[in-house]
Homo-oligomer: A and B are copies of this chain.
């Protein structure tokens, strides 16, 4: 069953186009992660927040990624990201056009 993971953390930047330059290679690497269906890169520059919304094929791949990504973030000074795991209610999600297939 698909698992949604939400990362949120305080972040001083870069944001927007500058983050694209800084993180393009990282994004290409993340795209290859086992079990990852997709990641949406989220940011709130006025609030100095960044994060990601992820869909994984299953809980095991989600947990392996969270461990790996948390260690990577700590190298950038992000030491306590807020991480949430959720199951997806696929039948209700289908009614509201949610992209989980």
Question: Which A positions have Cβ atoms within 8 angstroms of B?
Answer: 4, 6, 8, 15-17, 19-20, 23-24, 27-28, 30-31, 36-45, 49, 51, 53, 55, 84-89, 91-93, 95-100
Q: Beyond A6-B53, A49-B86, A89-B20, is A95–B27 a contact (Cβ under 8 Å)? A: yes
**Cβ–Cβ contact A20 & B92, under 8 A:** yes
Question: 14 extra interchain contacts, Cβ-Cβ under 8 A, other than A4-B40, A4-B53, A40-B88?
Answer: A6-B53, A19-B89, A20-B91, A24-B95, A30-B96, A40-B55, A40-B98, A41-B88, A41-B98, A42-B86, A42-B88, A44-B85, A44-B86, A49-B84
**Cβ–Cβ contact A38 & B87, under 8 A:** no
